[in-house]
Amino acid sequence: MTEKAIRDGDVLVRELGALRRITLNRPKALNALTLDMAGAMTALLRAWADDDAVGAVLIDGAGERGLCAGGDLRALYDAAKVKNPLPEKFWASEYQLDVLIARYRKPVVAVMDGMVMGGGVGLSAHAAHRVVTERSSIAMPEVGIGYFPDVGASYLLARSPGCVGMHLALTGERIGAADALYCGLADVHIAAEKLADLPALLADCRTAHDVRTRLGEMSVSPAPGKLPAARRWIDVCYGADEVEEIVARLRASPIEAARAALAILQRMSPTSLKITLRNIRSAVSFAEVEQSFQQDYRISLACIAGHDFIEGIRAAIVDKDRKPAWRPDKLEDVRPDTVDGHFRSVGARELSFTD
């Protein structure tokens, strides 16, 4: 049995038996997600949902560098500069796609090989079957560009053991396979050299049980992670109610890793740190993942209308000077009403979801 190509371009689509395979196909851009790509994937998944010929869906990325490094930040920056509504449309489309994946009636297998950041986490970590490899490097580094971990990551990170999710959200630390499994961001570890066998293995699968069984046959134990042992200082330091207290506890810790985390936080956008803490904390009470996406949408609209997100992209991607000028640049100068404004309803622009 040979895979048959049924679509080319930035979203490559192939079929093998009952399997449909979606490959993000922008390897030179680390498969960064665009509005057109999100729209194409949504249309495909909706068409396959009621197609009896389709049993399962596999999502992966072209090349060996990663599944997806996130959204196309330069496009968002350029649009914001000329007041183009692209960012609002992109986030709505992206978040609705992520929820479609999370609620899909057929098994979705996401291959989190290589770099998986930002929007790549949204496409994969909400899937029913999440595969990591020894090459996996997963992170939500958005606070470093004046943004926040969006794509419903707050729902997942809020449910990670202890305060590990908060640590990952505020620092943007990259984690490998074992720590992704530990945090609940992945389900099974497979050797990267075996990924080429996945399509044939899943070609006749039609149920979640079928998929779990086949993936289980390929799974191997990953190399040990770092986070379980780090819980002894992470839970102490990140258990505080305010970012200022987290910073104080990190500063007072005798643990070298805590001091390294402090150095990272001191480079981050103060506003983004406070927004992120509140977003993760509030997600603990959410009954459905859709609530996190709706809240993320409100925050995103506030971020694109503000200063730090645009400045963060400028410093990291446009001018590449790595010297963002945050406003304000001190935690104590971030006004409570500024943080509150990121969480207020956007009225008729509130995000909604359909099957």
Report the catalytic residues.
71, 119, 142, 150
Which residues on neighbouring strands pair with residue 22, listed in sequence order? 13, 59
Q: How far is CA 68 from CA 76, 138, 238, in A?
A: 17, 10, 29
Determine the Cα–Cα distance for residues 54 and 192; give it in Å rounded to an integer. Answer: 26
In SS3 terms, the chain reads as CCCEEEECCCEEEEEECCEEEEEECCHHHCCCECHHHHHHHHHHHHHHHCCCCCCEEEEEECCCCEEECCECHHHHHHHHHCCCCHHHHHHHHHHHHHHHHHCCCCCEEEEECEEEECHHHHHHCCCCEEEECCCCEEECCHHHHCCCCCCCHHHHHCCCCCCHHHHHHHHCCCECHHHHHHHCCCCEECCHHHHHHHHHHHCCCCCHHHHHHHHHHHCCCCCCCCHHHHHHHHHHHHCCCCHHHHHHHHHHCCCHHHHHHHHHHCCCCHHHHHHHHHHHHHHCCCCCHHHHHHHHHHHHHHHHHCCHHHHHHHHHHHCCCCCCCCCCCCHHHCCHHHHHHCCCCCHHHCCCCCC
Which residues on neighbouring strands pair with residue 277, listed in sequence order? none
